[in-house]
Amino acid sequence: MAIERGSPLDLAKRAADRRAKSRSDANARDHGWRRETYCLPRSQAREKAQEWFKRYPKSAYMTEIEFWRELADGRIEFTIRRLPSAD
């Protein structure tokens, strides 16, 4: 069995193709999530999150608050995500 050897350019192209394929596979896995970002006053943010958890139960959709923070003006910015398992 012979080892195929190519030019440095061929080697660079194969490495770039392999790297691009692994990145696209990772992005495809990540794009399975549905995400929404909101920036609301605290009470409305709480209502919105409860609405999501009621509409998309954690047990079926793996719904979760992915990120949240309180802004200087008192509003809450948060990102909620879920799987589209039953869409």
Helices (H), strands (E): how many in the chain?
3, 3
- 21 in a domain, yes or no? no
- 19 in a domain, yes or no? no
pTM surpassing 0.85?
no
Domain range enclosing 50 = 34-87
Q: Which of 1-10, 24-33, 44-53 has the lowest mean pLDDT?
A: 24-33
Domain total of the chain: 1
pLDDT of residue 11: 76
- 61 in a domain, yes or no? yes
Mark 41-77 as b/e (b = at least 16 C-beta within 10 Å). Answer: eeeebeebbeebbeebeeeebebeeeeeeeeeeebbe
pLDDT of residue 71: 93
Q: Rounded mean pLDDT of the chain? A: 84
pLDDT of residue 85: 74
pLDDT of residue 65: 95
